[in-house]
Amino acid sequence: MSSSSAGDLRHELEDRLAALGEFIKSQRELADMSVRRLADLAGVSNPYLSQIERGLRRPSAEILQQLARALKISVEALYVRAGLLSDDGSERPGVREAIADDPYLTAEQKLALVNVYDSFVGTQS
């Protein structure tokens, strides 16, 4: 992969995370919820949710599921916006999904593995 392609992918990921965060924030505001209330309902920390809404953190499939449940919206809608599902509903197989689906890993282990994976993929040229 050329460094230009890696840069394009990184930019696409940043755009997708920003759009996902904006969507979650808009859904939270539509539900007339504070960041603290949504964080409590979803079982995540206030700062972590704030970082997701600002597009600074990529939530796992499990966290998206918790957010969808708390917001009373379709988890598939969040998965599509996060790039975990394509618009036609077919799954995109990948490392992140395999990690998210592994029943033997804790949430913390999944997050650590995804962060390590992203650090390797993000630095390849």
CATH number of the domain at 3-123, please? 1.10.260.40
Q: Answer yes or no: pTM beyond 0.85.
A: no
- Of 52-66, 94-108, 111-125, where does mean pLDDT reach its minimum? 111-125
Residue 54: its pLDDT value, please?
95
| Domain spans of the chain, in order of start | 3-123
- Which residues neighbour 90 within 8 Å (Cβ) at sequence distance 6 or greater? none
Q: What is the pLDDT of residues 53-81, one digit of tens each?
A: 999 998 998 999 999 999 988 888 888 88
111 touches 117 (CB < 8 A): no
Q: What is the pLDDT of residues 14-23, one digit of tens each?
A: 888 899 999 9
Tokens representing 115?
A: 């962060």
pLDDT at 113 over 90: no
Q: What is the pLDDT of residues 40-60, one digit of tens each?
A: 999 999 999 999 999 999 899
Residue 120: its pLDDT value, please?
74
92 touches 80 (CB < 8 A): no
Residue 51: its pLDDT value, please?
96
